[in-house]
Structure 1
Amino acid sequence: MDKARADSAAIRLAKTTIKAPFAGVIGLQQVSLGDYVQPGQALTNLVRLDPMRVDFQVPENALAKLAAGLPVRVQVDAFPGRTFTGKVIAIDPQINPATHSVLVRASVGNTDHTLLPGLFARVELVQAQRANALLVPERALWPVGDKVFVFRVVDGKAQQVEVRVGERLPGQVEIRSGLAAGDVIVTAGQPKLHDGAAVSVAPAGAQPASAQ
């Protein structure tokens, strides 16, 4: 009988020790020493800070390029100028019909616990990486029908060349073919140009001169 009581007491004592279900950081306690607590009552918050999970929406027209493992870059207003890196770990299998976007989840390293849950984040999804990509200002493009041209300056004269464009960035466009690194191109006044028109290269910040 004494052994049964001892075993029962040992079981009750073991239940007084609360073990965290995962490694994390404990928040502010919600009870005080000596308080009576009920089963299921919250005692504190336990948060996993490393890695952090970041959920964001991606337009449905980018779905074909989405894949687990794609790198992401994250910035938050709380730490301007700092970029946190991670990768895509999950993609929702359904499209939101209201926003025509898909929910994507990324895992972001946070070893110094700088990021906290609830921060508003701006996420840049890196869908492709190419070394030595050739970028030109978007205003340099001169679309004609279903083709795209750029005016290149050769020996002081305009030369209209067809180009094949690739990825687009804010204000910039990747050129897959038609131009080479070091080419001088026209970024203003294209409506006044034609093949063979004489042009002069203006210094940076100067007003463009008229074609002759």
Structure 2
Amino acid sequence: MVKRILLTIVGLLIIIGVIAGIKVLQIRKMIDAGAQFAPPPETVTTAVVRSETWESLLTAVGSLEAVQGVTLAAELPGKVTEIRFEAGSKVRKGDVLLRQDVSSEQAQLPGAEATVELARLNLNRMRELLAQKIISPAELDSAVANHQQALAAADNIRASMAKKTIRAPFSGRLGIRQVNLGQILREGDAIVSLQALDPIFVNFLLPQQQLGQLRVGMLVRLTTDALPGQELRGAITAISPEIDAATRNIRIQATVANADEQLRPGMFASVAVELPGQLQGLVIPATAVLYAPYSDSVFVVEEQADEKSGQKGLLLRQQFVRLGAKRGDFVAVTSGLGEGDTLVSTGVFKLRNGQSVVVDNTLAPEFQLAPKPENN
């Protein structure tokens, strides 16, 4: 009985040993196959590093603002008796836009003028009496003061009447009317917006490190999606004397002609400041760059011999670069590459250093310095 049990145990051990040996052989074959496995080469598009000359520009996004703009409002309370403008019309400086009820002032003015006349006659009489030494100089001084007070009272009534006639303070275009005939206006109630549109300001911000390149009178280019295909020109007219402490940007103001009044206050626009001289250097497609916090890099395509097979093929070498200005689909490279180097131009996020590749540029995008939405 014992002998039978021992034989059974020995048989089981032999079977287990055979199975383990088979598994070890299988695992070793898999390891050897994995070591010898070479992934198929990745298909990539390429671009050649080339030297170009660019215009020297500083670009920013700006906001348009009227050279003169104000919302006209009532200075004194009163009822609207006449509206003499149409919404959206052009007006000249001094044109009457609105009148308020001045019947109360008109009723008070004759009495005030009569008081002025009486004070004037009394003053003349006092001067004659003083010349005859009948009255004292103090009585003449009192008559002079009474006359001046009467004049001031009459002028105050006339000033109130003038303030109730709203005139255009400058030439420009009116906005939407905000009052109606017969409406009782309170002091400060808005009447209509008035904007001088030709010329027009464009305000924009630039980093403080670019302050040394800016000068009043430099030309600027202006484009906006409200005027597709058009490029307007102006010039820098003011540079703020202070830097924004929060953003470290400097505020710039340029003036642009707007004879057709196609530009309106509140629009945003793309602004490019023309700097003297030109930029010359190496440029590559912006999509060829693998952006990373520690450093930006590109993948250079080089022909190398495979270490195992000895056959020549195209391999990738990751190269760290320092970038410069960007223009359209391109970015300048200040260090790390040489003219004529071949780079992977798209899909760099899925590549790795030393990877084998094949080049197929049949579907390569066309990179442009001034791309448009329809090119995408």
Q: For 2:279 and 2:249, how far apart are their aligned partners in 1?
A: 30
Task: Give 1:100 shift.
Answer: 2.3
Specify which of 238, 248, 252 is matched with residue 100 of structure 1.
248
Q: For 1:57 and 1:16, how far apart are their aligned partners in 2?
A: 41
Confirm whether residue 138 of structure 1 aligns to residue 283 of structure 2: yes
Counterpart of 1:57 in structure 2 is 205
Counterpart of 1:44 in structure 2 is 192
Q: Could you tell me which amino acid in structure 1 is paired with residue 246 of structure 2?
A: A
Specify which of 4, 7, 29 is matched with residue 177 of structure 2.
29
Q: Secondary structure at the match of 1:104?
A: strand
**Structure 2 unmatched runs, 5+:** 1-108, 115-153, 285-323, 333-337, 344-361, 365-376
Q: Secondary structure at the match of 2:233?
A: strand
Q: For 1:136 and 1:68, how far apart are their aligned partners in 2?
A: 28
Verify the 8 A CA contact 2:200 2:258 in the aligned structure 1: yes
Q: For 1:123 and 1:27, how far apart are their aligned partners in 2?
A: 27
Q: Secondary structure at the match of 1:61?
A: helix
In structure 2, relative to structure 1, the CA distance for the partners of 1:81 and 1:189 (3 Å cut) is same
Verify the 8 A CA contact 1:135 1:172 in the aligned structure 2: no
Confirm whether residue 82 of structure 1 aligns to residue 230 of structure 2: yes
Specify which of 98, 113, 133 is matched with residue 261 of structure 2.
113
Counterpart of 2:275 in structure 1 is 127
Q: C-alpha root-mean-square deviation of aligned residues, in Å? A: 3.4
Number of positions where the alignment pairs a residue of Structure 1 with one of Structure 2: 154
TM-score normalised by length of structure 2:
0.36
In structure 2, relative to structure 1, the CA distance for the partners of 1:63 and 1:34 (3 Å cut) is same
Task: Give 1:72 shift.
Answer: 0.8
Q: Which moved more, 1:9-18 or 1:38-47?
A: 9-18
Q: Secondary structure at the match of 1:107?
A: strand
Verify the 8 A CA contact 2:282 2:339 in the aligned structure 1: no
Q: For 2:254 and 2:233, how far apart are their aligned partners in 1?
A: 10
Higher strand share: 2
Task: Give 1:18 shift.
Answer: 1.5
Q: Could you tell me which amino acid in structure 2 is paired with residue 119 of structure 1?
A: M
Task: Give 1:2 shift.
Answer: 4.1
Counterpart of 1:15 in structure 2 is 163
Question: Residues 47-90 of structure 1: CA distance to partner in whole angstroms, max 9, x if unpaired?
Answer: 11111111101111211111111111111112221112111111
**Structure 1 unmatched runs, 5+:** 140-166, 174-184, 191-204, 208-212
Q: For 1:123 and 1:113, how far apart are their aligned partners in 2?
A: 18
TM-score normalised by length of structure 1:
0.60
Larger radius of gyration: 2
Q: Secondary structure at the match of 2:190?
A: coil
Same amino acid, percent of matched pairs: 34
Question: Residues 122-176 of structure 1: CA distance to partner in whole angstroms, max 9, x if unpaired?
Answer: 1111122x5xx6856514xxxxxxxxxxxxxxxxxxxxxxxxxxx9562376xxx
